[in-house]
Amino acid sequence: MRIGYFDCFSGASGDMILGALVDAGLPLVELQEAIGGLGVPGITLAAESVKRGAFRGTLVRVHADEHGHPHRHLPQIEKIIRGGALDPAVQEDALRIFRRLAEAEAAAHGSSPEQIHFHEVGALDAIADIVGAAWGIRRLGLQRVHVSPLNLGGGFVQAAHGRMPVPAPGTAALVVGVPAYGSNILFELTTPTGAAILTTLATAFGPLPAITVERVAYGAGQRALEEQPNLLRLFVGTVQDPTERDQVAVLEATIDDMNPQFFEPLMDRLFETGALDAFLTPVIMKKSRPATLLSVLCDPGSADRCAQTILTHTTTFGVRQYLASRWKLTRDFVSVQTAYGEVRVKRGWQADRVTIVAPEYEDVKRVASAAGVPISLVFDEARRAALAQGGDSERR
C-alpha cells in the first residue's frame, strides 16, 4: 500500500501542500490541466525551487485573475466544483473539504454552513489549492494519508474579520479532535485551507509509520522564517500490511430521560449525517438509574455534524469525543447473481486472499421477499457465489 506522510513541523497551507506534491513528482502541467477542469478562466500555476533556511523546497504559486477576496457562499463554491470536468472521486474530496471548512466557520461564528460566506478561502486561488491537493494526492497514487501533529504557530493574524489570535477561529474548529500544538513563532503556520485539506483527507495522525520510503519532498511556504525552515515535508512510501489502519472519532452520550422510541429515528439521522456505526448499550448511572449509552463511530471530519445531531435529537446536555485507531481489512463490493436475484456482497481481503464475505442484508431481504423464499437460502447462495468469484473487482 502506498501512503503519504505529511510532516507539519512548520505547519501547513494550501500552497505548501501543492509544493510538496509537485516536489514529490506530481507534474505541474498535469496539475494545471486538472485545475483547468474547473472551467474557471484565469487560474495559472508556477513552480520554482527555493531555499528555506538551509533546505531546498518547491514553491508553488497560484495566480488568479481576480481582484480582492470575493465573498462566496458554500453553494456557489459547490456549483463551481460540480460544474467542472473533474474526476468524481476528486470532486467529492474537494466538496468534503469545503463542507468541513463551512462547518468549522459556522461553528466559530454561530451560523450555519449555508449562510457562511468565505473570505480568503473563497477566492479562486484557495479553490485551486483545495482541488489541486485532492487531485494531486490521487494522481500520486497515495492510498492513505497520514499526518503529524499540526504546528499552529502563535501570535495574531489579520483577516477579513479583523485581528485574531492564532489559530484563527476557523482553524481552531478544524483541529478539534486532531493532534496540534502552538509555538513561539509569531506567525500563522497552519492556515484554514491547509488544516481543512489535511484533517479531511487524513486517515491517521501521529508519528511517521513504519514504511519503505521512496521519496522525501518539501513544499515551501511563501514566507521565509528566521526561526526555522518554513517547509512542509512529505514522505512517500509503501507499507506491507495485510490490514488497513486509520482513525475514527468516537462520540458518546449517556441518556436516562428520553423516550426509547426516539432512538430509532435518531439512528437514521446519524447515518444520514455520516456515522459509520452507532450502537446502544444499557448502563447503570449514579443513584442506580438505568440509562442508555449511545456510541457513534464516524470519520473525524464528520464528528461535528454527528455531535450536533446528538445534541439536537436527544435529551443529553453533552457529547464526549475521542480518537481511536483501528485496524480493518481491505474491502470491496461485488454484485453476484443468485437463482432469486442480484445481491451485493462485501468482501474482506488479507493480502491477495478473500477471507470474509458478507452479503448485504437489505439486498438479501429484498430478493428473498420478492422470490417468496427464506432469507437464509438467498444469503447462503450469495455467499457461495462471492467466494467463487475471483479477485477482479475494484477494491476500495
**Which segments of the chain does DSSP mark as H helices, in order?**
14-23, 28-36, 74-83, 88-109, 124-139, 169-174, 192-201, 263-273, 303-313, 361-371, 375-388
Number of compact structural domains in the chain: 3
Whether the CB-CB separation of 217 and 58 falls below 8 Å is answered with yes
Q: Are residues 91 and 162 in the same domain?
A: yes
314 within domain boundaries? yes
pLDDT attached to residue 395: 38
Per-residue model confidence (pLDDT) at position 126:
85
pLDDT of residue 393: 41
Last residue of a domain, one of 269, 291, 318: 318
CATH number at residue 301: 3.30.70.1380
Rounded distance between C-alpha atoms, residue 307 and residue 15, angstroms: 31
* Pairwise CA distance, residues 231 & 221, whole Å: 6
Do both 262 and 138 map to the same domain?
no
Phi, psi of 338 (to 5 degrees): -105, 175
CATH code where residue 332 lies: 3.10.20.300
One domain, residues 213 and 303: no
The reported pLDDT for the residue numbered 392 is: 43
- Report the chain (396 residues): mean pLDDT per 10 consecutive residues: 94 97 97 92 94 96 76 85 90 91 80 64 81 96 93 86 84 90 94 94 88 96 94 92 76 96 95 93 94 95 91 96 86 85 87 84 93 95 85 41
Range of the domain at 261: 245-318
Whether residue 350 sits in one domain with residue 299? no
Q: How many CB atoms lie within 10 A of CB 114?
A: 10
Q: What is the pLDDT, as a whole number, of residue 253?
A: 97
Q: Is residue 165 part of a domain?
A: yes
- Confidence (pLDDT) at 88: 87
Indicate if 141 and 252 belong to the same structural domain.
no
Whether the Cβ atoms of residue 209 and residue 183 lie closer than 8 Å to each other = no
The amino acid occupying position 293 is L
Measured between alpha carbons, how far is 161 from 86 in angstroms, rounded to an integer?
Answer: 32
